[in-house]
Structure 1
Amino acid sequence: MNWNRILNPGLYKVGHFLGDISSLLRRHPLYIRLVALLLCVAFLVVLMQAGSLYLMDYIPHNQSAIQKIYHQKIFWGREVDTANEMAPADAKSAMDSLRNDYFNTDDPLFVWLVEKDDKACTLALKTLKTAQENFEFAGAHQLPIQERLHLAKLVVQAYAPLATALQTDIDTKQSVISLLQLVSMGLILCCLGTVALDARRILVDRLDRLMSMVSKGFVPGRSDTDVNEFARLEHMVYELSARLEGIKAETEWINQTTSERIRRMMRSQDFLFKFIELINNATLTEMTLRKALYSLEKALNANNVALIFTENDSPLFYGRVLFSHHLPATFQDALFDGLVGSDSAVNFLSSNAEGAPIRCLAVAFSSPSGELGVLKIEADEARLFEDAEIQLVEMTAQLLSMVMGSHGREQEGRRVALLEERSAIARELHDSLAQSLSFMKIQIARLQSNFGAEDVPEAAIHEIVDDLREGLNNAYRELRELLATFRVNIDTRGLSFSIQSAIEEFSSRSSLSITLDNRLVNCRFTVNEELHVLHVVREALSNIVRHSGAKNVTIAMAFQPNGMIVVTIDDDGVGYTFMSEEPHHYGQTIMKERASSLGGKIEVLRRRIGGTRVKLVFTPKMEQ
């Protein structure tokens, strides 16, 4: 027999049943507790009833046995007393008749007494049986009548302890059953009290506390159907559920709206970040502005974004127009006048080229050329622009105005710098190359005056020719230096990038190790100042490469507390030796003229630890 097939389903059912019980205990502890208390009450009631039924059966049976015993005792006592008064022969006959009336333990009324586990009853019954056996022995052996009478009296006396033992057993059973019923009644009262207390705690206290947890303004009015606490609770839960559904729907709508607002804000912030990055890292051109318009259209989820520059403040004529999708419609006179006179964005309805109504948002700003600029947003008619979006458009217009103004000023500065640079080129050509050409012109005049003369030695002619050759070489070298200098342009990213480019250039064409220590953080220069500083640094590096024999160069730029800028170029070469007159070399002269143009001064010094220091000191115009 396969016991696994038999036992496993049974074990599975037992485990499933225990699992259900455990789950019920976890989910409904109050219900299980109430059922347990009611089961205890039922058990105690059954126990009390069983005790009562037991006594109802036990006591009458014992009473019948006691009555039978007393009847036997009375019968034997009467016969013994009668036999004492009779003649011996009659007494003997009476004693023989008593031998037929013994206490019969086989009687159904006394069978239980034999099996009863009671020491007193057992001892009394044993004493009775012993007395009956002795009386029977005396009758069977025809002992003297007096001895038989004595034994008969012992039998009569043996009945009394047995009756007493039975009565004592009845009293004991009654006491035990009474005590058991009393204890059961106490336990029943305790269970009922526990049920009542739990019912009060659950149905009164907890319900009241649950009611009080809800706002008074939220609790619905009493209904006619609220006949008890649970009906009121059910009505309140129903009302609460309905209101929660409404709150849930409202919350979902708010979350959806808030999420959309957050997405718009994120798109706006992303646009501002990219727009600022674009205008900082790129030259302001038409392509740059178109990129900005495309980004703004995407950020606002609009149909079209246009940048309009009008001439003579006329709404009917567009000087220049940049747009992301299509050409915008013209403004009405009244609307245009209101837009020009307003410092904030104007929200209005208009129509597109097809005549369909559209929602527009426009803000005016001034361009550096004196034109009036208008940033116009076109969207669907039902579109409502939020405050954050309006602020974004206004900020964009302000940034455009600032950037275009800065771009115009930068262009003007570069034009001024170009004019100054042309003047510097003319001046340096006059001071260097023109002097070399004048020198060669003098030498040619000497050569012409000596040409054909017989008394001029040949050595003098050769000396003049050598001077001409040297003058040509010097003029050619100076021209190359000037061309290399004037080909330098300022990087659009500023002075630091231009100097770094110069460092990379000189490092690549020489064995110099050049280090830059730039501490000019947030220091603003004009374009002219940037050009002069760059030319001074390049001239110093050029002199170091040609004359110093240095291996290491350090360029330091620092801003002093008094507002002055100090630029030093140190090298570890042979050191500077002052020469009052050095023909055909104008590098220091040019650097001094640049320092003078900056309103500062330049010094070329010999360092104590070896090498040369070029020190430029000036005050920027921005600081002045």
Structure 2
Amino acid sequence: MEKIKQRYSYSVMNYITVSLASIFGIGLLSIFISYWVTDMSDKDAQAINMSGSMRMQTYHIGLALQRGEKQEAIEAIDRLDETWNHALFIKQRSLNSSDPLNGYFYRAYNHWQQELKPLLVSEANSVSLPALPIKMIDKQVHLTDELVDQFQKEAEGRIRNLRLFQVFVLFITVSVGSVIFYLLKNRIEKPLLQLTQAAHRIGKGDFGHQVEVDGRDELALLGAVINQMSTSISHMYDELDDRVKQRTQELRRNNINLEFLLNTARRILDSHNKPLDFQQLLDDLSGAMHGNTTLELCLFTAQGDKPYLQLAPHQTPTTDCTLRSCEGCQGQAPFTPIDSISLNEKFPIVRDDMHYGVINVRSPVMTPLPEWQEQLLRSAADQFALALSLSAQKDQEHRLAMLNERTVIARELHDSLAQALSYLQIQVTRLQKSHDKQKYDLQQPIIDELREGLSSAYRQLRELLTTFRLKIDTGGLQGALENTVKQLRERTDMHVNLHYQLSNLPLNPTEEIHLLQIIREASQNAINHSKGEHLSISLKQLADKSIELLIDDDGIGIPDTPEKLNHYGLAIMNERSRHLNGKVEIFPREEGGTRVVCRFQPGFIEQQVTSTA
């Protein structure tokens, strides 16, 4: 603070204060001196008037004496003497002053007091006719005239001095005003204009603008502060601009990385029907790296020691694995560099402790990879691991599905065709025994049972083939049921109606397959055995959120032991209902015909109950 005070000791306020004080002082001095001069000249007119009246009074005394009016002459002498002794002339009655006016007054006054006045008084008091002292009166008049002239000169001299003083004051005022104007112009107005222009330019974004303000006052300090502020703002703006450019580059790079990861995730999700193109993914990853690095993708089996797939981006030759140890790629040993100047880094493709492969990175520059490239490579490795894990899981699910399907086929063959064939084998054995015993009368019933069994076995074989060929396309269960109803209408004269009310309920594929098979089996039984005219199929959800299947016909009804009518069909429906955690019931309708009812709890309801619990 002391240094600032020393450096900027010439304050603008000092300029303004001194200027105002100078103008105020000159004004006061001018007013005071003018007042003093005019005050001194205030009695000049009275003095001239009284001195002129003394001349007239002298003539008046002479005339009064000449006419013999002594009393009037004495009164005139007294009045003239009072005038000469007036308080206005006290100063002039002394010769101590060097003022010429006092000399003139003293000579005229002494001539009056010592010479003319005694003579006139004696003449006025004499009894004889007075003799007029003409020469002495003329001399007194002459002295009085000189006194009047001197009073006039004194008055004119004061007026002249006042004019000279006013001219001097005018010169001083103009000079001081010029100096003040110069100081205000160069020390205040010009620096303020420069500071204002600098503020406008800085406000418009010219942060590097510098203002030149000379001097050692507040404006110079303000100019220095503005320059320092402008320099700081310019530096900060440049830094901010660099940071914005850097962040923009990072955002652009992150956008490219996110776009690559998004496209990779999309390809992974779309790869359920076709194999994943790792070559395209590696090319996209190399493009996202946009550097001088070289990538290599090696995929290993769980037991293999050499990659079954070794890829490099297009236009980049793949290095033969024989040139290095693959144990480093599998995480079992460090890398074996191809040359001494290559930077080798590996990013394992691992998921759930399963090593699928590695992404090898090489760079001719011996500097670590930037953090964003490492993050991108890690994310890409995780995406590749996810894709390979999903592919392995899909293959495993496919294997399980094949095994499950074969188990279902075996169970269906065992529950239907195998039992039918066993039954036929028993009948053939009976036929052989009757033939051996020559009981020909027992053969015809056996032959009839064989014929009926063969027909039943053939029908069951066709139903099994239909079941094994069954598929549900993108139309879902409703589309498959509509297609089934269409096929049933083509095979029979019955009026088949479908009432599907599960459009807003999700069913898993297993539930859809079992429902479709139960409906096909029950509908086929109604068409083959009911001899009715109408068949109604209804699917809806009940109040307790369970699903109810109703299959009604208006036929002849069912016997007391319906299982003997179609043992295998009922067994199939019961088996499938158990897979749905439900139960199939068959009973006659009051209005005639047969009703098949199947109720079960859908899987999504059970999942909700389990998650809530």
TM-score by length of 1: 0.50
2:540 is aligned to: 554
1:539 is aligned to: 517
2:267–2:276 contact (8 Å) kept in structure 1:
no
2:358 is aligned to: 374
1:306 and 2:284 are equivalent in the alignment: no
Q: Secondary structure at the match of 2:319?
A: coil
2:337–2:344 contact (8 Å) kept in structure 1:
yes
1:416-454 CA deviation, whole Å, 9 max, x = no partner?
3323322322332343345667888969x99xx99xxxx
1:282 is aligned to: 271
Q: Secondary structure at the match of 1:581?
A: helix
2:325–2:335 contact (8 Å) kept in structure 1:
no
2:584–2:599 contact (8 Å) kept in structure 1:
yes
Shift of 1:251: 4.5
1:567–1:617 contact (8 Å) kept in structure 2:
yes
1:503 is aligned to: 478
1:75 aligned to 47, 52, 55, which one?
55
1:540–1:614 contact (8 Å) kept in structure 2:
no
1:537–1:569 contact (8 Å) kept in structure 2:
no
2:356–2:385 contact (8 Å) kept in structure 1:
no
Q: Secondary structure at the match of 2:600?
A: strand
1:590 and 2:572 are equivalent in the alignment: yes
Shift of 1:37: 8.2
2:469 aligned to 470, 487, 497, which one?
487
2:472–2:480 contact (8 Å) kept in structure 1:
no
Distance 1:509 1:61, change over 3 A: farther
Q: Tell me how far apart the structure 1 counterparts of residues 352 and 388 of structure 2 sit (CA, whole Å).
A: 6
1:291-313 CA deviation, whole Å, 9 max, x = no partner?
43233223323565432135798
2:400 is aligned to: 416
Q: Tell me how far apart the structure 1 counterparts of residues 56 and 510 of structure 2 sit (CA, whole Å).
A: 158
1:150-189 CA deviation, whole Å, 9 max, x = no partner?
xxxxxxxxxxxxxxxxx9xx9xxx9xxxxxx9xxxxxx9x
Q: Tell me how far apart the structure 2 counterparts of residues 585 and 359 of structure 1 sit (CA, whole Å).
A: 75
Q: Which moved more, 1:372-381 or 1:414-423?
A: 372-381
Q: Secondary structure at the match of 1:375?
A: strand
Aligned pairs for 1:287-366 (under 5 A) are 287-301=276-290, 305-310=295-300, 317-325=306-314, 326-330=316-320, 336-341=326-331, 359-365=343-349
2:323–2:338 contact (8 Å) kept in structure 1:
no
2:598 aligned to 590, 593, 613, which one?
613
1:359–1:378 contact (8 Å) kept in structure 2:
yes
Q: Tell me how far apart the structure 2 counterparts of residues 536 and 304 of structure 1 sit (CA, whole Å).
A: 54
TM-score by length of 2: 0.51
Q: Tell me how far apart the structure 1 counterparts of residues 301 and 401 of structure 2 sit (CA, whole Å).
A: 30
1:572–1:612 contact (8 Å) kept in structure 2:
yes
2:279–2:312 contact (8 Å) kept in structure 1:
yes
1:66-106 CA deviation, whole Å, 9 max, x = no partner?
2221123333444445555553589999xxxxxxxxxxxxx
1:307–1:374 contact (8 Å) kept in structure 2:
yes
Distance 1:323 1:406, change over 3 A: same
Q: Tell me how far apart the structure 1 counterparts of residues 245 and 251 of structure 2 sit (CA, whole Å).
A: 10
Q: Which moved more, 1:58-67 or 1:260-269?
A: 58-67
Distance 1:399 1:287, change over 3 A: closer
Q: Secondary structure at the match of 2:255?
A: helix
Shift of 1:534: 3.8
Distance 1:606 1:276, change over 3 A: farther
Shift of 1:331: 5.6
Q: Which amino acid aligns with 2:582?
A: I
Q: Tell me how far apart the structure 2 counterparts of residues 85 and 238 of structure 1 sit (CA, whole Å).
A: 98
Distance 1:514 1:405, change over 3 A: same
Q: Secondary structure at the match of 2:517?
A: helix
Larger Rg, first or second structure (1 or 2): 2
Q: Tell me how far apart the structure 2 counterparts of residues 461 and 282 of structure 1 sit (CA, whole Å).
A: 62
2:324–2:337 contact (8 Å) kept in structure 1:
no
1:568 is aligned to: 547
Q: Tell me how far apart the structure 2 counterparts of residues 475 and 314 of structure 1 sit (CA, whole Å).
A: 50
1:261 is aligned to: 250
Q: Secondary structure at the match of 1:515?
A: coil
Q: Which amino acid aligns with 1:306?
A: E
Shift of 1:581: 1.1
1:513–1:553 contact (8 Å) kept in structure 2:
yes
Distance 1:226 1:308, change over 3 A: farther
Distance 1:483 1:611, change over 3 A: closer
Aligned residue pairs total: 426
Q: Secondary structure at the match of 1:282?
A: helix
1:347–1:359 contact (8 Å) kept in structure 2:
no
Q: Tell me how far apart the structure 2 counterparts of residues 35 and 480 of structure 1 sit (CA, whole Å).
A: 119
Q: Which amino acid aligns with 2:47?
A: Q
Q: Which amino acid aligns with 2:397?
A: G
Q: Which amino acid aligns with 2:517?
A: E
Q: Tell me how far apart the structure 2 counterparts of residues 342 and 251 of structure 1 sit (CA, whole Å).
A: 47
Shift of 1:231: 6.9
Distance 1:358 1:312, change over 3 A: same
Shift of 1:281: 3.6
1:272 and 2:258 are equivalent in the alignment: no
Q: Secondary structure at the match of 2:540?
A: strand
Shift of 1:553: 1.9
2:388 is aligned to: 404
1:316-370 CA deviation, whole Å, 9 max, x = no partner?
x543223432443246887644443479xx899756xxx9x65543223469999
1:432 aligned to 416, 427, 430, which one?
416
Distance 1:393 1:314, change over 3 A: same
Q: Secondary structure at the match of 1:425?
A: helix
Q: Tell me how far apart the structure 2 counterparts of residues 348 and 479 of structure 1 sit (CA, whole Å).
A: 64
Q: Which moved more, 1:258-267 or 1:48-57?
A: 48-57
1:350–1:359 contact (8 Å) kept in structure 2:
no
Shift of 1:602: 3.0
2:64–2:70 contact (8 Å) kept in structure 1:
no
Q: Is there any run of 5+ residues in structure 2 with no aligned partner, and where?
A: 1-10, 74-154, 163-168, 170-175, 193-213, 486-497, 527-533, 590-594
2:351–2:385 contact (8 Å) kept in structure 1:
yes
Q: Tell me how far apart the structure 2 counterparts of residues 36 and 579 of structure 1 sit (CA, whole Å).
A: 127
Q: Which amino acid aligns with 2:539?
A: V
Distance 1:266 1:519, change over 3 A: same
2:522–2:596 contact (8 Å) kept in structure 1:
no
Distance 1:327 1:488, change over 3 A: farther
1:65 is aligned to: 45
> What is the CA RMSD across the aligned residues, in angstroms?
6.1
